[in-house]
Amino acid sequence: MNFVEAIAKKRDGGVLARDEVAAFVRGASDGSLPPEQLAAMLMAICCRGMDADETRCLTEEMLHSGEEWSLAADRPEVVDKHSTGGVGDTVSLILAPMLAATGVPVAMMAGRGLGHSQGTLDKLDAMPGWNSIRSRDETLDLVDSCGAAIIAQTDNVAPADRTLYALRDITGTVPSLPLIVGSIMSKKLALGAGTLILDVKWGSGAFRKTEVSARELAVALRQVAVDSGVRCEALITDMNQPLGPALGTACEMREALAVLSGGGDARLREVTVGLCRGAMVLRGWDAGEATVALDRVLEDGSALAAWERIAVAHGADPDPGLLDHPRSTVEVLASAEGFVTACDGEDLGRVAAEVGAGRRTVDEELAHGAGVLVHARIGDRIEVGQPVATLLVGEREIDQDRLCDRIRCAFTFGPDEIQPPKLILGAADDSAI
Active site positions, annotated: 82, 161, 168, 183, 187
Angle among Cα 195, 201, 203 to the nearest 5 degrees reads 170
Backbone angles phi, psi at 117, to 5 degrees: -105, 150
State the virtual CA torsion across 52, 57, 58, 59 in degrees, nearest 10.
Answer: 90
223 to 56, 147, 219, 281: CA distances (angstroms): 10, 28, 6, 18
CA dist 52 and 304 (Å) reads 42
- The answer to whether the beta carbons of residues 44 and 11 sit under 8 Å apart is yes
Residue 30: count of CB within 10 angstroms of its CB:
12
Map residue 107 onto helix, strand or coil.
strand
Helix residue spans in 65-176 (DSSP H): 91-101, 120-125, 136-146, 159-171
| 416, amino acid identity | D
Answer for the pair 169, 362: CB distance below 8 angstroms, yes or no: yes
CB neighbours of 295 closer than 8 A, spacing ≥ 6? 273
Give dist(CA 395, CA 379) in Å, integer: 34
User: DSSP 3-state assignment of 259?
Assistant: helix
Q: How far is it, in rounded angstroms, from Cα 338 to Cα 417?
A: 8
Beta strands 338-343 and 381-382, pairing class = antiparallel
> CA–CA separation, 109 vs 428, rounded Å?
22
